[in-house]
């Protein structure tokens, strides 16, 4: 009934073929991929990444081999097949589910006759597309140039052939044509700029610490639902999207906890299996925020087939950025899509196995379980961060009293002829700052975590 004309009115997205390598046989059935995913599932994840980059996946191919070919990764037979297929299907590029060496990259492009992208390049492209802030753009550009530099030899002129499409976003065509020396110079400058950003952020954090409000950092695999959760908990509207890496730039907002204690919540970039090392390094300024959080809320998509791989990847990255020691609460998100009994079972399994100090099933979408999550966050913060102290403040110390109200949680207050007596839950840093006003030691020894506002 439908005529062939006019079916696809939308601007054509770039078309690509995905190709992966299965070297399982060598390892007697165990997955040979570093990320620990079977090659088929790894290809599926790559397809998801490709559509997040705005590409249309025309087809996928998996080759089983004893070992990767040093020259072309895939066997030459498969490469020829890809060449024919790519031409026939009018592909804009071929996407390889591995990271390619510079020479494999060149050889494949020559043999297949169209641009070839590897997994890292695709991830870099998505980052480039989603980077909004100046810092975000600097970080992506640095990662892209670091990736490009060793691949520049012998392909300077070819670079200009690639249009403004996937794999070429970010640094831009003209910069890609610059010689190595110029790229090195640019890298040095970007590194310097980013060092400055880090220094500024560090300063901002230490200012935040002198006005001690604990930060809770959301982290997790890309698409786990961090931004959806962030929006619900802080009544914000950061972009939440089914595409991967919707969030790049960190956002911080006030979090309302049941105790009413001032707390900040931060949302930031998601992680992925085998996150390119250049990205981890380039995103140091962003990831440092996570590293210094008082508490990490690790969000995992309970419905993800590979959620175990996802959680261990996230924990791996946390380790790399020095955040492995921070207390962690695990949120099994998207519980609305799961059987309630299965949710409960997983929470029990997680608690018993000690996945995190607390495990909570929740739905950022429906709000189910978020009350429990907030209670748990409150308790964790109270235990780790707040101490109850009794202060005696002369009337003239209005600023100190204001600080207690603003940055602590005042439990009770009494006035007499000499001044004001305040019982408050405060962070150790605020307690230090206010130490000279502290009333007799032990005045308020019990129940530091019990107060309700
Ligand atoms: N059914 C259901 N969908 C959810 C839930 N939480 C998030 N989603 C959906 O999952 C997708 C990803 O959500 P985001 O909040 O953007 O995920 P994210 O972890 O911030 O992802 P990145 O920023 O890309 O790393 C979106 O399509 C959301 O609507 C949930 O509790 N239930
Ligand atoms: Mg997000």
Distance from the CA of 391 to the center of ligand 2, in angstroms?
Answer: 42
Residue 337 beta carbon below 6 angstroms from any ligand 1 atom: yes
Distance from the CA of 286 to the center of ligand 2, in angstroms?
Answer: 14
Note whether residue 204 is domain-resident: no
On whether both 225 and 167 belong to a single domain, the answer is no
Residues in the chain: 453
Average pLDDT, the chain: 84
On whether both 104 and 133 belong to a single domain, the answer is no
Choose one of 105, 123, 141: the last residue of a domain. Answer: 123
What is the best residue among 123, 221, 240, 299 to mutate for testing ligand 1's pocket, by most ligand atoms within 8 Å of CB? 240
Note whether residue 313 is domain-resident: yes
Note whether residue 13 is domain-resident: no
| The pLDDT of residue 243 | 85
Residue 231 beta carbon below 6 angstroms from any ligand 1 atom: no
As a whole number of Å, the end-to-end CA separation of the chain is 66
| The pLDDT of residue 8 | 45
On whether both 177 and 140 belong to a single domain, the answer is yes
| The pLDDT of residue 445 | 36
pLDDT beyond 60 at 441: no
Which residues neighbour 400 within 8 Å (Cβ) at sequence distance 6 or greater? 391, 393, 434, 437
414 vs 161, more confident: 414
On whether both 286 and 373 belong to a single domain, the answer is yes
Instruction: Name the closest-CA residue to atom 6, ligand 1.
Output: 225
C-alpha pair distances (Å), 115 with each of 16, 57, 118, 167, 412: 10, 15, 10, 9, 68
What is the best residue among 129, 227, 231 to mutate for testing ligand 1's pocket, by most ligand atoms within 8 Å of CB? 227
Strands (E), 174-303: 215-220, 251-255, 263-267, 295-301
Residue 268 beta carbon below 6 angstroms from any ligand 1 atom: no
Tens-digit pLDDT profile for residues 297-323: 999 999 998 899 999 999 988 888 878
- Please give the order of strands across the beta sheet that includes 116-118: 55-64, 14-22, 93-96, 116-118
Domain count, the chain: 4
On whether both 268 and 308 belong to a single domain, the answer is yes
Mean pLDDT of 252-261: 90
| The pLDDT of residue 326 | 76
- For the ranges 30-39, 40-49, 158-167, 409-418, which has the lowest average pLDDT? 158-167
Note whether residue 299 is domain-resident: yes
User: For the residues of 346-408, what is the DSSP string, one character each?
Assistant: HHHHHHHHTSSSEEEE--TTT-TTHHHHHHHHHHHHHHHH-EEEEEEEETT-HHHHHHHHHHS
On whether both 38 and 103 belong to a single domain, the answer is yes
Q: Which atom of ligand 1 is nearest to the CA of 333?
A: 31
| The pLDDT of residue 361 | 97
| The pLDDT of residue 415 | 93
Pairing of strands 358-361, 55-64: unpaired
Note whether residue 208 is domain-resident: no
SS3 83: helix
Residue 250 beta carbon below 6 angstroms from any ligand 1 atom: no
Note whether residue 74 is domain-resident: yes
CB atoms within 10 A of CB 259: 22
Note whether residue 16 is domain-resident: no
Q: What is the DSSP letter of 98?
A: S
- What is the CATH classification number for the domain harbouring 254? 3.40.50.300
Q: What percent of the chain has pLDDT over 70?
A: 83
Residue 79 beta carbon below 6 angstroms from any ligand 1 atom: no
Distance from the CA of 55 to the center of ligand 1, in angstroms?
Answer: 21
On whether both 270 and 134 belong to a single domain, the answer is no
- For the ranges 122-131, 150-159, 308-317, which has the lowest average pLDDT? 150-159
d(CA 250, CA 235): 16
- What is the CATH classification number for the domain harbouring 109? 3.40.50.11060
Residue 223 beta carbon below 6 angstroms from any ligand 1 atom: yes
Note whether residue 199 is domain-resident: no
Instruction: Name the closest-CA residue to atom 13, ligand 1.
Output: 225
Q: Which atom of ligand 1 is nearest to the CA of 247?
A: 23
On whether both 224 and 362 belong to a single domain, the answer is yes
Instruction: Name the closest-CA residue to atom 23, ligand 1.
Output: 247
On whether both 428 and 293 belong to a single domain, the answer is no
Looking at all shown ligands, the one closest to residue 240's CA atom is: 1
Choose one of 337, 352, 383: the last residue of a domain. Answer: 383
pLDDT beyond 70 at 201: yes
Sole residue written with tokens 């997983």: 346
On whether both 275 and 338 belong to a single domain, the answer is yes
Distance from the CA of 241 to the center of ligand 2, in angstroms?
Answer: 7
On whether both 68 and 182 belong to a single domain, the answer is no
Range of the domain at 378: 213-383
Distance from the CA of 227 to the center of ligand 1, in angstroms?
Answer: 7
| The pLDDT of residue 352 | 83
155 vs 368, more confident: 368
CB atoms within 10 A of CB 449: 17
Residue 270 beta carbon below 6 angstroms from any ligand 1 atom: yes
CA–chain centroid gap for 78, Å, is 35
Instruction: Name the closest-CA residue to atom 27, ligand 1.
Output: 242
pLDDT range class, residue 408, cuts 50, 70, 90: confident
On whether both 228 and 370 belong to a single domain, the answer is yes
d(CA 150, CA 100): 12
Instruction: Name the closest-CA residue to atom 21, ligand 1.
Output: 223
What is the best residue among 287, 364, 373 to mutate for testing ligand 1's pocket, by most ligand atoms within 8 Å of CB? 364
């Amino acid at each position: 009934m439908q005529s062939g004309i006019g079916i696809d009115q939308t601007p054509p997205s770039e078309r690509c073929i995905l190709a992966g390598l299965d070297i399982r046989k060598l390892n007697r059935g165990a997955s040979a991929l570093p990320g620990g995913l079977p090659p088929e599932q790894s290809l599926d994840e790559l397809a998801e990444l490709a559509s997040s980059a705005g590409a249309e996946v025309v087809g996928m191919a998996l080759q089983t081999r004893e070992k990767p070919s040093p020259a072309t990764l895939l066997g030459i037979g498969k490469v020829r097949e890809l060449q024919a297929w790519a031409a026939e299907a009018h592909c804009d590029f071929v996407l390889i589910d591995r990271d390619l060496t510079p020479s494999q990259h060149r050889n494949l492009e020559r043999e297949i006759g169209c641009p070839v992208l590897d997994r890292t390049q695709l991830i870099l492209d998505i980052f480039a597309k989603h980077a909004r802030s100046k810092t975000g753009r600097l970080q992506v550009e640095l990662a892209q140039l670091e990736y490009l530099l060793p691949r520049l030899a012998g392909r300077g002129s070819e670079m200009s052939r690639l249009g403004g499409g996937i794999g070429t976003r970010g640094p831009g065509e003209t910069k890609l044509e610059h010689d190595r020396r110029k790229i090195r110079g640019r890298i040095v400058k970007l590194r310097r700029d980013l060092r400055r950003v880090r220094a500024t952020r560090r300063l901002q954090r230490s200012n935040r610490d002198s006005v001690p409000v604990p930060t809770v950092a959301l982290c997790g695999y890309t698409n786990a639902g961090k931004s959806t959760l962030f929006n619900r908990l802080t009544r914000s509207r950061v972009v939440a999207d089914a595409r991967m890496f919707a969030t790049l730039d960190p956002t911080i907002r006030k979090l309302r906890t049941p105790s009413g204690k001032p707390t900040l919540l931060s949302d930031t970039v998601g992680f992925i299996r085998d996150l390119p090392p250049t990205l981890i390094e380039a995103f140091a300024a962003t990831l440092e925020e996570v590293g210094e959080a008082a508490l990490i809320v690790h969000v995992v998509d309970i419905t993800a087939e590979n959620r175990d791989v996802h959680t261990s990847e996230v924990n791996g990255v946390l380790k790399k950025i020095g955040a492995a020691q921070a207390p962690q609460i695990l949120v099994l998100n998207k519980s609305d899509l799961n059987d309630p009994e299965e949710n409960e079972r997983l929470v029990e399994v997680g608690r018993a196995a000690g996945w995190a100090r607390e495990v909570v099933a929740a739905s950022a979408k429906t709000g189910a379980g978020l009350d429990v999550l907030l209670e748990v966050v409150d308790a964790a913060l109270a235990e780790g961060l707040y101490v109850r102290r009794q202060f005696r403040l002369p009337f003239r110390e209005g600023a100190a009293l204001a600080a207690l109200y603003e940055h602590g949680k005042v439990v009770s207050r009494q006035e007499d002829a000499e001044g004001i007596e305040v019982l408050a839950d405060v962070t150790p840093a605020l307690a230090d700052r206010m130490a000279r006003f502290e009333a007799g030691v032990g005045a308020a020894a019990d129940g530091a975590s019990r107060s309700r506002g």
